[in-house]
């Protein structure tokens, strides 16, 4: 082959090579060009949501309780990290931040491919150290992010609530949530989370592959969440929380003293709750649960040991709305009102139909149901208080009188549509269902009646292997498991009846305000950052219960007698001026042989024109008159503008 | 050579006496160098400004190399290429020496390719390519009907010595250039079909042996793997390739305009000033710009082949063909790499990529070709019959 022929072949080869380039170039820039252009546009601009600071929370006087500040945070953007850089990066960050590598790796993996996530908020010092090494930390940047600040520590913690990362259920319900941003988990932080969150801003940045910003679009600023005005008063709250703590201490002191006298106790007193309600609106003026916790613990993540300890103490439980207790003698006010309003018939061996009085001699003997052996009902006191009417019985907390009311009702209304007349009153005053307060984990409580017992029986018969709620002997009864004794128990707030301190406060409010059952609330208004009031809480009237003014008036008079000459008289001895303007009722709730009694007190004032109701519960605190009444008195002194006197033991009374 | 075959031959000979350089060749080189300068400025200015350096400092540095390259072209044009046939042993020796010297310098990015002269890093392998072309042209300068195995053996030995040194750097891309050029030059010298088969077989066997013996580094294997399956991303190569390809594609027909490249300006593409500079061309100047660039190379290669045809002797022809092979192969591998059809190697784009050694070597090579042109056969090719 000639040189020139070979040259032609080589030229052909070169031509082929250049043609290949041309064809390939046509393919990628003409055939696929538009697509590539879009990819380029998308990947050079990244949109970064700038998190809005959560809204503030203030008390009824405008006192700032919770706010937000900006702190530096380490943000990692996986788009700028090659796979082979990840391990090295995690180790570097671990060294810089003092975080375990495992934790960083877990966060890294959880965030997912191409994700941008906040690793941790850091101190200014750490932020500087990270900034200095940014060139060795691909994909890492320092940003100012908002962080929650709780200015009053554990005060009002159960109302305010705490934050936590959204779980799967949260993300399902609210797909817009950023799983790196903590949201409200309890309390107002949770109930009003969407208002508190605010509107995130938006920052569009053009970055190079080293995550360096080369261009910015004008940012859309974030808008801080709304300001939540609580109906609670910080000063009152501090006083109430202090009172509860003192009440718990008093209870333990009394327990020790009684132990030395030979009366042993089951548990140390550890828990308590209190509610102060505005009887005319349902506004919560104070709501406290003891023990408490500091919501600050949750701002950057609570350590597991502290969490476990607090959980064991039930510090996260808001006992005022989720604690269920037998209301005991405080419930007698409801029976009292029902008896007055419905003119309930009286009937018992201790009843004298001539005088209409009941013999409160501490003991009532019944032939027993179904003609069995006689049943003896012993009252809480010993001795003979004489023949008493309703008012005197209320003041002395005579169980026998209220049993007589229950027995009369039972015997006269059994199997009629008025059989549940006392329960109906309880329900209409708010027992047996959640009040719907704007807080989390509210309990409903139970108002037992025949229908409920029948239902329990049915469940028990269907599931014989599971522990049932009813005594097995009841299942055999011909007339069903609900018996007269149950109604007798209910009339004095015992048996299966259980309620929250908040329900008790709502019921007392309705009874003293003439029958208005208000829905309690903790948030009175919501204000936007610009000062515009977005929402002013209109009090919600759940229902009006028809009550004659005379019943209300007599109840108020009798409540006053309780604190002047009755079961709470000793606790109120030191009240000072204004004692004639306050009233209350003590209660000592029994559960079972393994627990100490729960101490209750429900108070109201001023009697001329009732404005507030105070309910105090000391969980396993002992006697209501002795332990809870002094705590209630301390709070009521403050509400009446009287200097509170020390919390000392009252009379041991029901 | 026969007698004059056509009556108009004297006029053609007279025209030829006018000693005019190959202006098309020179123009194409200057156009490519200018595009290179613009692109280097375009892709380096953002980074430089961020480092508080003048935005044009990289471009200015390249301008010095371009100026030096033009002088090299001139010098090479003035030297009678036939002198090289006597100088082959010296040129070859110096290049081998320099290829040895690189191993005295520390590795840069895992490779020992450079001799650090302070302001300038000399890359001897760029010059070795040209030296080998001259050496091979020397061996193959005698026109033969058949190529004896002995000559083939000499050629292979001549290539093998610098080849091994370059393999040790390591620089697989340049080795491929050596292989391609050798094959083309042997073919031009009368390699028979059988010989070609034997050589191809030996090359395949050798390649296989190199891989089997584990002489190839992992990253080099990765570069091949990623070409077959871009979803793999060993060391981010797949990512880089994809970024490069979409950058070129995003230029579409006319490009985003000079200095408007997002991909290249924002450093989504690696080595954008040097090996990946075609990415910037594609993104900013589009399909049209890219095709014109490819055509510029085709033009240079065409001129070199024309020079080969018109060379007064086989030595000059072989040099021209060799240089054409080098430039065509560089352009093909480099542009093909940025578009994802060739493996990633460190081969620069002639006259466009930033870098002094490569510009000087290529400019000098074109200068030699021009020297062949200036001293071409008095009789145009079409008047000859052999």
The pair of three-digit structure tokens given for residue A296, joined into one six-digit string: 């600050």
Distance CA A62, CA B273 (A): 62
The pair of three-digit structure tokens given for residue A256, joined into one six-digit string: 């020790």
Q: Mark yes or no for CB contact B188/A14 under 8 Å.
A: no
Q: Mark yes or no for CB contact A36/B266 under 8 Å.
A: no
Mean pLDDT of A595-624: 96
Q: Does B200 touch chain A (CB under 8 A)?
A: no
Residue A244 is predicted with a pLDDT of 97
pLDDT in tens, A178-197: 877 899 999 999 999 999 99
Helix axes of A3-26 and B314-338: crossing angle, nearest 10 degrees: 20
Look at A1 and B120; give whichever has higher pLDDT. B120
Q: Does B292 touch chain A (CB under 8 A)?
A: no
The pair of three-digit structure tokens given for residue A19, joined into one six-digit string: 């043609």
> Number of residue pairs across A and B with CB atoms under 8 Å?
145
Residue B1 is predicted with a pLDDT of 43
Residue A355 is classified by DSSP as T
Q: Mark yes or no for CB contact A11/B332 under 8 Å.
A: no
Q: Does B249 touch chain A (CB under 8 A)?
A: yes
Least confident of A179-183, A512-516, B62-66: A179-183
pLDDT in tens, B265-321: 555 666 677 788 898 899 889 999 999 999 999 999 999 999 999 888 899 999 999
- Where does the pLDDT of residue A370 fall: very low under 50, low under 70, confident under 90, or very high at 90 and above? low
Whether the Cβ atoms of residue B261 and residue B283 lie closer than 8 Å to each other: yes
Residues in Cβ contact with A118 at an 8 Å cutoff, skipping those fewer than 6 apart: A73, A74, A75, A76, A143, A145, A180, A181
Q: Mark yes or no for CB contact B336/A20 under 8 Å.
A: yes
Distance CA B383, CA B78 (A): 27
Q: Mark yes or no for CB contact B253/A30 under 8 Å.
A: yes
Residues in Cβ contact with A187 at an 8 Å cutoff, skipping those fewer than 6 apart: A157, A158, A159, A160, A161, A162, A318, A439, A440
Residues of A in contact with B386 (CB under 8 A): 2
Its sign, for the CA torsion B108, B112, B114, B119, is positive
- Where does the pLDDT of residue A94 fall: very low under 50, low under 70, confident under 90, or very high at 90 and above? very high
Select from A1, A14, A208, A211 the residue whose CB has the most chain B CBs within 10 Å, as the one to mutate to test that interface. A14
Least confident of A103-107, A154-158, A544-548: A103-107
Residues in Cβ contact with B349 at an 8 Å cutoff, skipping those fewer than 6 apart: B36, B275, B277, B278, B330, B331, B334, B335
Strands A227-230 and A57-58: parallel
Residues of B in contact with A32 (CB under 8 A): 249
- Where does the pLDDT of residue A216 fall: very low under 50, low under 70, confident under 90, or very high at 90 and above? confident
Distance CA A125, CA A416 (A): 76
Select from A28, A37, A43 the residue whose CB has the most chain B CBs within 10 Å, as the one to mutate to test that interface. A28
Determine the distance in angstroms separating the CA of B27 from the nearest CA of chain A, rounded to an integer.
19
Helix axes of B57-78 and B356-374: crossing angle, nearest 10 degrees: 30
Distance CA A396, CA A568 (A): 10
Q: How much is the mean pLDDT over chain B?
A: 84
Residue position matching structure tokens 């709304």: A226
Q: Does B219 touch chain A (CB under 8 A)?
A: no
Least confident of B125-129, B208-212, B291-295, B296-300: B208-212
- Where does the pLDDT of residue B262 fall: very low under 50, low under 70, confident under 90, or very high at 90 and above? low
Residue B2 is predicted with a pLDDT of 47
pLDDT in tens, B40-57: 998 887 667 656 678 888
- Where does the pLDDT of residue A204 fall: very low under 50, low under 70, confident under 90, or very high at 90 and above? confident
Distance CA A616, CA A239 (A): 13
Least confident of A137-141, A262-266, A319-323, A422-426: A137-141
Residues of A in contact with B249 (CB under 8 A): 28-29, 32-33, 35-37
3-class SS letters over A72-91 = EEEEEEHHHCCHHHHHHHHH
Question: Can you list the positions of beta strands (E) in A492-605?
Answer: 516-518, 523-527, 533-536, 541-544, 583-589, 598-605
Residues of A in contact with B341 (CB under 8 A): 20, 24
Give DSSP secondary structure letters for A364-387: EEE--GGG-S-EEEE-SS-S---E
Q: Mark yes or no for CB contact A14/B324 under 8 Å.
A: yes
pTM: 0.66
Residue B381 is predicted with a pLDDT of 62
Numbers of helices and strands, H then E, in chain B:
14, 2
Residues of B in contact with A206 (CB under 8 A): 262, 266
pLDDT in tens, B84-108: 988 888 999 999 999 999 888 888 7
Residue A502 is predicted with a pLDDT of 98
Distance CA B284, CA B263 (A): 10
The pair of three-digit structure tokens given for residue A371, joined into one six-digit string: 């003609």
Q: Mark yes or no for CB contact B249/A9 under 8 Å.
A: no
Q: Mark yes or no for CB contact A22/B291 under 8 Å.
A: yes
Residue A343 is predicted with a pLDDT of 94
Among A300, A293, A313, A310, smallest CA distance to A160 is for: A293
Its sign, for the CA torsion A543, A545, A549, A555, is negative
Helix (H, G, I), strand (E, B) or coil at A363: strand
Residues of A in contact with B143 (CB under 8 A): 3
Q: Mark yes or no for CB contact A207/B266 under 8 Å.
A: yes
Determine the distance in angstroms separating the CA of B260 from the nearest CA of chain A, rounded to an integer.
12
List the single residue in B with minimal CA-CA distance to A26: B287
Q: Mark yes or no for CB contact A33/B305 under 8 Å.
A: no
Q: Does B325 touch chain A (CB under 8 A)?
A: yes
Mean pLDDT of A314-342: 96
Q: Does B238 touch chain A (CB under 8 A)?
A: no
Look at B245 and A628; give whichever has higher pLDDT. A628
Q: Mark yes or no for CB contact B263/A44 under 8 Å.
A: yes
Q: Mark yes or no for CB contact A36/B249 under 8 Å.
A: yes
Q: Does B114 touch chain A (CB under 8 A)?
A: no
Whether the Cβ atoms of residue A63 and residue A207 lie closer than 8 Å to each other: no
Residue A368 is predicted with a pLDDT of 63
Q: Mark yes or no for CB contact B266/A34 under 8 Å.
A: no
Nearest to B188 among A3, A30, A43 (CB): A3
Q: Does B336 touch chain A (CB under 8 A)?
A: yes
CA A579 vs. chain centroid, Å, equals 33
Residues of A in contact with B188 (CB under 8 A): 3, 6-7, 10
Q: Mark yes or no for CB contact A39/B250 under 8 Å.
A: yes
pLDDT in tens, B7-27: 676 666 666 666 788 899 999
Residues of A in contact with B308 (CB under 8 A): 7
Residue A621 is predicted with a pLDDT of 94
- Where does the pLDDT of residue B256 fall: very low under 50, low under 70, confident under 90, or very high at 90 and above? confident
Q: Mark yes or no for CB contact B287/A25 under 8 Å.
A: yes
Residues in Cβ contact with A344 at an 8 Å cutoff, skipping those fewer than 6 apart: A338, A405, A408, A409, A421, A422
Q: Mark yes or no for CB contact B46/A214 under 8 Å.
A: yes
**Confidence check: pLDDT of A326 > 60:** yes
- Where does the pLDDT of residue A63 fall: very low under 50, low under 70, confident under 90, or very high at 90 and above? very high
List B residues 143-172 in contact with A (Cβ-Cβ < 8 A). Answer: 143
Residue A79 is predicted with a pLDDT of 72
Distance CA A205, CA A328 (A): 65
Q: What is the ipTM of this complex?
A: 0.91
Whether the Cβ atoms of residue B23 and residue B1 lie closer than 8 Å to each other: no
- Where does the pLDDT of residue B110 fall: very low under 50, low under 70, confident under 90, or very high at 90 and above? confident
Residue B135 is predicted with a pLDDT of 93
Q: Does B266 touch chain A (CB under 8 A)?
A: yes
Residue A578 is predicted with a pLDDT of 92
Residue B386 is predicted with a pLDDT of 44
Least confident of A60-64, A71-75, B231-235: B231-235
Mean pLDDT of A350-376: 82
Q: Does B105 touch chain A (CB under 8 A)?
A: no
Residues of A in contact with B332 (CB under 8 A): 17-18, 20-21
pLDDT in tens, A437-467: 999 999 999 999 999 999 999 999 998 888 8
Among A320, A267, A311, smallest CA distance to A290 is for: A320
Nearest to A11 among B245, B305, B339 (CB): B305
Q: Which residues of A touch B (CB under 8 A)?
A: 1-4, 6-7, 9-11, 13-15, 17-18, 20-22, 24-26, 28-30, 32-37, 39-41, 43-44, 82-84, 206-210, 212, 214
Q: Mark yes or no for CB contact A209/B314 under 8 Å.
A: no
pLDDT in tens, A15-29: 999 999 999 999 999
């Amino acid at each position: 082959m000639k040189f020139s022929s070979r040259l032609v072949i080589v030229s052909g080869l070169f031509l082929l090579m250049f043609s290949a380039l041309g064809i390939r170039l046509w393919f990628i820039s003409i055939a696929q060009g538009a697509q590539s252009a879009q990819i380029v546009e998308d990947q050079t601009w990244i949109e970064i949501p700038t998190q809005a600071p959560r809204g503030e929370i203030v008390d009824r006087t405008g006192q700032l309780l919770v706010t937000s500040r900006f702190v530096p945070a380490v943000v990692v953007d996986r788009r700028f990290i090659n796979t082979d850089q990840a391990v090295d990066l995690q180790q570097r960050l671990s060294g810089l931040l003092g975080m375990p590598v495992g934790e960083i790796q877990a966060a890294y993996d959880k965030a997912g491919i191409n994700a941008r996530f906040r690793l941790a908020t850091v101190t200014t010092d750490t932020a500087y150290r990270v900034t200095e090494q940014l060139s060795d930390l691909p994909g890492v940047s320092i940003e100012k992010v908002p962080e929650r600040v709780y200015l009053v520590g554990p005060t009002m913690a159960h109302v305010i609530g705490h934050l936590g990362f959204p779980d799967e259920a949260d993300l399902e319900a609210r797909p817009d949530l950023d799983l790196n941003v903590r949201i409200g988990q309890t309390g107002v932080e949770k109930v009003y989370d969407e208002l508190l969150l605010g509107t995130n801003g938006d920052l569009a940045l053009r970055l190079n592959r080293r995550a360096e910003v080369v261009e910015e679009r004008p940012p859309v600023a974030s808008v801080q969440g709304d300001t939540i005005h609580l109906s609670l008063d910080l000063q009152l709250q501090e006083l109430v929380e202090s009172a509860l703590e003192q009440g718990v201490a008093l209870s333990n002191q009394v327990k020790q003293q009684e132990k030395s006298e030979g009366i042993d106790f089951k548990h140390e007193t550890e828990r308590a709750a209190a509610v102060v309600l505005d009887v005319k609106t349902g506004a919560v003026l104070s709501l406290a649960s003891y023990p408490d916790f500091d919501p600050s613990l949750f701002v950057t993540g609570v350590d597991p040991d502290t969490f476990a300890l607090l959980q064991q103490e039930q510090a996260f439980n808001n006992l005022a709305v989720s604690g269920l207790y037998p209301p005991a003698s405080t419930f007698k006010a409801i029976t009292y009102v029902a008896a007055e309003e419905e003119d309930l018939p009286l009937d018992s061996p201790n009843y004298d139909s001539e005088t209409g009085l009941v013999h409160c001699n501490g003991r009532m003997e019944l032939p027993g149901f179904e003609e069995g052996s006689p049943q003896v009902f012993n009252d809480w006191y010993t001795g003979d208080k004489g023949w008493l009417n309703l008012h005197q019985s209320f003041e002395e907390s005579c169980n026998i009188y209220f049993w007589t009311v229950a027995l009369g009702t039972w015997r006269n209304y059994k199997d009629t549509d008025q059989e549940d007349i006392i329960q109906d009153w309880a329900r209409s005053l708010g027992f047996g269902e959640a009040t719907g307060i704007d807080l989390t984990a509210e309990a409903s409580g139970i108002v037992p009646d025949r229908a409920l017992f029948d239902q329990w029986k049915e469940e028990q018969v269907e599931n014989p292997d599971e522990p049932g709620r009813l005594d097995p002997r009841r299942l055999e009864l011909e007339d069903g498991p609900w018996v007269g004794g149950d109604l007798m128990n209910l009339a004095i707030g015992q048996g299966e009846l259980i309620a929250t301190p908040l329900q008790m406060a709502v019921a007392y409010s309705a009874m003293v305000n003439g029958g208005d059952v208000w829905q309690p609330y903790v948030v009175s208004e919501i204000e936007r950052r610009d000062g515009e009031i977005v929402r002013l809480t209109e009090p919600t009237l759940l229902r009006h219960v028809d009550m004659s003014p005379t019943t209300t008036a007599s109840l108020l008079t009798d409540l006053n007698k309780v604190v002047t000459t009755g079961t709470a008289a000793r606790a109120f001895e030191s009240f000072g001026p204004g004692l004639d303007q306050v009233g209350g009722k003590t209660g000592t709730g029994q559960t079972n042989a393994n627990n100490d009694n729960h101490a209750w007190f429900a108070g109201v004032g001023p009697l001329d024109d009732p404005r507030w109701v105070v309910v105090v519960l000391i969980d396993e605190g002992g006697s209501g008159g002795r332990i809870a009444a002094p705590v209630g008195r301390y709070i009521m002194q403050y509400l009446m503008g009287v200097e509170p006197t020390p919390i000392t033991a009252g009379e041991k009374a029901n | 050579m026969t007698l004059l075959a056509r009556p108009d031959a004297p006029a053609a000979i007279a025209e030829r006496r006018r000693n005019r350089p190959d202006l098309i060749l020179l123009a194409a080189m200057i156009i490519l160098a200018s595009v290179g300068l613009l692109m280097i400025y375009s892709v380096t200015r953002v980074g430089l400004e961020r480092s508080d350096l003048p935005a044009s400092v990289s471009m200015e540095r390249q301008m010095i190399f371009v100026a030096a390259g033009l002088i090299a072209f001139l010098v090479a044009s003035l030297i009678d290429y036939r002198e090289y046939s006597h100088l082959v042993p010296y040129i070859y020796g110096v290049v081998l020496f320099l290829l040895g010297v690189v191993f005295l310098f520390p590795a840069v990015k895992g490779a020992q390719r450079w001799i650090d002269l302070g302001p300038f890093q000399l890359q001897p392998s760029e010059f070795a390519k040209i030296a080998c072309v001259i050496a091979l042209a020397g061996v193959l300068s005698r026109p033969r009907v058949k190529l004896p195995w002995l000559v083939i053996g000499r050629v292979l030995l001549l290539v093998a010595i610098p080849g091994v040194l370059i393999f040790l750097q390591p620089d697989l891309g340049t080795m491929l250039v050596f292989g391609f050029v050798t094959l083309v030059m042997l073919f031009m010298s009368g390699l028979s079909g059988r010989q070609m088969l034997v050589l191809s077989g030996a090359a395949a066997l050798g390649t296989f042996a190199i891989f089997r013996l584990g002489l190839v580094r992992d990253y080099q294997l990765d570069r091949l793997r990623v070409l077959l399956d871009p979803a793999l991303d060993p060391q981010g190569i797949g990512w880089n390739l994809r970024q490069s390809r979409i950058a070129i594609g995003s230029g579409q027909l006319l490009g985003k305009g000079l200095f408007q490249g997002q991909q290249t300006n924002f450093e989504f593409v690696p080595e954008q000033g040097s090996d990946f500079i075609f990415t910037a061309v594609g993104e900013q100047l589009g399909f049209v710009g890219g095709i014109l660039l490819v055509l510029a190379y085709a033009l240079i290669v065409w001129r070199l082949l024309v020079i080969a045809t018109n060379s007064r002797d086989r030595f000059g022809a072989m040099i021209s063909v060799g240089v054409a092979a080098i430039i065509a192969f560089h352009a093909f591998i480099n542009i093909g790499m940025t578009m994802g059809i060739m493996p990633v190697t460190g081969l620069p784009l002639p006259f466009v990529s930033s870098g002094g050694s490569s510009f000087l070597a290529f400019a000098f090579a074109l200068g030699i070709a021009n020297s062949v042109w200036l001293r071409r056969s008095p009789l145009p090719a079409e008047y000859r019959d052999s």
